[in-house]
Amino acid sequence: MVQISEVKGETRDLRTATHTHIKGLGLDENGLAARVDGGFIGQETAREACGVVVDLIKAKKFSGKAVLLAGGPGTGKTALALAISHELGPRVPFCPIVGSEIYSTEVKKTELLMENFRKAIGLRVRETKEVYEGEVTEISPQEAENPLSSASGYGKTISSVQVGLKTSKGTKLLSLDPSIYESIQKERVTVGDVIYLEANTGAVKRVGRSDAYATEYDLEAEEYVPLPKGDVHKKKEIVQDVTLHDLDIANAKPQGGQDIVSLMGQLSRPRRTEITDKLRQEVNKVVRKYIDQGVAELVPGVLFIDEVHMLDLEAFTYLNRALESSLAPVVVLASNRGISTVRGTDGIQAPHGIPADLTDRLLIIRTLPYTPEEMRAIIAKRAQIESIAVTEAALDALAAEAVKTSIRYALQLLTPANILAQASGSENLDAPHIEEAESLFIDAKRSAQVIESSNGQYIM
């Protein structure tokens, strides 16, 4: 008997990004941070402060306010923002951008800033819908002569499609519009699949393969689901999470009514259209109306702006105004600058490159430089994540390099040094391999020294 088993790919497990190890803030039930937890090492005070911010966001008492993560390069500011996202969960919008992203030749920077604001504000819609749900027993497209075709008789078009659905209680044969047949094809629905069809919008969703077919020898791994219970035609409460930006885009060229079903139904027609303040105000009116009726619930998310000092005075002024809106997310800013020039001004100096009127609005969380012991622990943690066997001598060498240059440079040396170790036939990464990697890849300070001593060899 031939055995066919599912082979799980290892690519996702082996792929590591800069902040792969961050799983949360690492706080206990009292909001206190352990020295090592959640992927973090150190920064206990900053993590506890972020924990208070998370609690305020969950209690919906922090909307329209802003936090600044201030500290030198490589002190965990972006990691803290990602940890806040993990703590809030996947259903709370989290929109990360970099300050330089707002500059475009096609769209105004204030428009891009407001667009990201709206992406960070969620709307949880609860509504009762008429649906058809069941296992597909038949898909029969009905063809008809196309009146616009030539007299040759070869031109035909789909006039309707008949779909049979079965549940534990009975079966129904539905005659559907040709546009729904296109949705069925996009979802790759076949006989034996369990599908979900909305009566109002015609949206089709493939839930999975009926478990009655689980004994078949499929070459592809398939998700099997039980046969739906109850009638084929039923009323069901649906919970959908969208953002205000989704509603803006869907209604940039309104088609149909202004009820919540029309707003949601047009999300399947994305288009790049300029969104005016008037349109946003109309969307806000509809949103507030349905919030008052209890149909929808506002979910303020988080807008994270890294390298916030890259914004200019015009963007900062707009940010001030946007924070005062009744529909505003929590804004988390990050900067590694000290006293620096505010962009767009004639040399005005300000802390972190942020105007004083905006700084007054911020809760500032400071991140501190890591101690040599913390740097060593961070390097060891990173080596473990990347499955690199490191000797104590190599860890000491990398920690010393981190103190002398930067933690980022020391972490960057891990992978090339490990390749050198493997090339030499060694199973463990040792101090000589670190030294060899340092000779091949210089740090920023040594690079600056090379330029200073180049005697004009580089183009100025």
| Digit-coded pLDDT (tens) for 398-422 | 999 989 888 889 888 888 999 998 8
389: its two tokens: 């066997």
The distance from CA 179 to its chain's CA centroid, rounded to whole angstroms, is: 31
Topology at the third CATH level for domain 372-452? Helicase, Ruva Protein; domain 3 (1.10.8)
| pTM: predicted TM-score of the whole model, two decimal places | 0.68
Higher pLDDT, 147 or 52: 52
Tokens coding 328 = 């505003």
Query: How far apart are alpha carbons 266 and 247 in whole angstroms?
Result: 8
- CATH architecture group of domain 19-120+301-366: 3-Layer(aba) Sandwich (3.40)
Residues 292, 264, 115: CA angle, nearest 5 degrees: 85
d(CA 41, CA 51): 16
Q: Which of 144, 186, 184, 145 is nearest to 164 (CA)?
A: 184
| Fold of the domain built from segment(s) 127-239 | OB fold (Dihydrolipoamide Acetyltransferase, E2P) (2.40.50)
**Which band of pLDDT confidence, cut at 50, 70 and 90, is reported for residue 267?**
low
In this predicted structure, the answer to whether residue 227 has a pLDDT above a threshold of 60 is yes
Q: Tell me the mean pLDDT in the region 318-333.
A: 84
**One fold for 127-239 and 372-452:** no
Q: Where would I find the beta strands (DSSP E) of 110-180?
A: 121-145, 156-166, 171-176
Q: In 3D, which of 31, 39, 32, 69 has the Cα closest to residue 332?
A: 69
Nearest to 389 by CA among 376, 380, 398, 397: 380
CB of 24 closer than 8 Å to CB of 87: yes
Q: How far apart are CA 287 and CA 280, in angstroms?
A: 10
Q: Do residues 123 and 296 make contact, with C-beta atoms less than 8 angstroms apart?
A: yes
By the 8 A CB rule, do 386 and 398 touch?
no
Task: Specify which residues 296 forms β-bridges with.
Answer: 125
Average pLDDT, the chain: 81
CB 45, CB 51: distance < 8 Å: no
Domain ranges of the chain: 19-120+301-366, 127-239, 242-293, 372-452
Which has the higher per-residue pLDDT, 166 or 6?
166
Average pLDDT for 302-307: 89
pLDDT band of 49, cuts 50, 70, 90: very high
